[in-house]
Amino acid sequence: MMLSPQSFNEIQINRLFPFYILINKYLNVIALGKSLNKLCDFHKPQNINQFFSISSPQTSIKSFNDLISLQDQLIVINLSSDKNLILRGQLEYMEHTDEILFLGSPCFSSIEQIAENNLAIDDFAKNDPLVDLFYGAQNNTPKNEGFVEDEEVLAKLEKKNSLLKVENKDDYDRPLFSKQSLDPNIRIDFQGDLMHSNSAASHLEFITYEGKTYLIHLFYKLIAAIIDEKKEKWSFEGSANGKDYSFVCLAFHKEGYINMYARDVTKQKKYQQELEKLSIIVKETMNAVIITDVEGNIEWVNKAFEEFSGYTFHDIKGKSPGSFLQGKETDLETIAYMRQQIKDSKPFSCEVYNYNKTGKGYWVKLKGQPVFDENGKTINFFAIQEDITEIKINQQLLQGSEKKYRDLIDNTQVSHLQRT
């Protein structure tokens, strides 16, 4: 897929990062590096959650802002087409095009893995540590002749490659066990002995897991003991030092170790608990409640909303409320006002004429409020709709009665003047 010149030079980016992934603001993968294309057979845009999952830091991507927030840290992703294909790198937000660029490289530790994926030396950037597998295995003589496929030569290369694994692995371990990372990253062997950890992990002395608290070295033994050899990835939650953590474990059976990526989810857990408490309240309220994402797409509605509108949550999940509630009698200025307030992450209050599923109109008093995370970033919109149809009808009846009364007075005065 060719990229517009306004975004970046495709030839240049392929030369430096041939395994890049380009993502637009709608969370669609719109382009891949030339080498990653060989692994994925990518033909058309698709949602990132169908294309890959992020294993470190463990997170779910629901909005474009979720991706932007992951800048300046190590990202580990697993491709959906092949769970054994793991990429490590970082995300970069390109403000001028409103796109996210993943810059990284696959996690291969042997010549065989590269050969199995039909890759050659020219498929890697010159500064990629994986190039050392080629150069070092071929007597440190740089060549650009592609990958040698002869079985006898492969055997010799693999013998030499085994001597390079430790050195090559260290290149990958540097970002994984970076002192700058705020999240604990840990590597243990299959006996549960610690091999590597970063600074954040060194502060862990106890881990509470499934209601029991373990000394950290015994916790590592437990993880090694309960590992499912059929799985290469699994996750769980635990707590330590007053914080909640989400762990993702990746087992590298051939290499003989397990990588554990922990992410501090204390604030997210607190927010989730508060949201659950709030949901209990709003479920039972008589007013309709809608929660949308930052793009204005519905994430949740309560029972009262379903009764008001006639739509079930299944009918409208992921849709914009205005796409099915508004109609010909809905005031355009009111619609424009709400859209602008949402765009500016500001609260709003107005009266709106909506339509239910059968096409019947009804009036609501609508109050909307943005929801912010601990960093002040808008993550949701929360709106309450109060049915004021009866009030509006009574107002119209009253206005009609007042008009009739005024007409009657006017007619009486005219009759009196005519008699005099």
Give the mean pLDDT of the chain. 80
Q: Place 420 in a pLDDT band, splitting at 50, 70 and 90.
A: low
Residue 282 to residue 13: CA distance in whole angstroms: 49
Is residue 58 over pLDDT 80? no
**Whether the predicted pLDDT of 156 surpasses 80:** no
Mean pLDDT of 226-242: 82
**Residue at 391: amino acid letter:** I
The CATH code belonging to domain 278-387 is 3.30.450.20
In this prediction, residue 145 carries a pLDDT of 44
Query: What pLDDT was estimated at residue 84?
Result: 74
Q: Are 31 and 44 in contact (CB under 8 A)?
A: no
For the chain, the structural domain boundaries read: 177-264, 278-387
Please give the model's pTM, rounded to 2 decimal places.
0.39
| Residue 60 pLDDT class (50, 70, 90 cuts) | confident
Would 177-264 and 278-387 be classified into the same CATH topology? yes
User: 240: closest CA among 181, 314, 184?
Assistant: 184
Two tokens, residue 136: 């070092």
Q: Could you confirm whether domain 177-264 is CATH 3.30.450.20?
A: yes
Taking the alpha carbons at both ends of the chain, their separation in whole angstroms is 91
Give the pLDDT of residue 255: 84
Distance of alpha carbon 349 from alpha carbon 338, whole angstroms? 8
Cis previous bond, 184, omega within 30: no
CA distance 51 to 271: 28
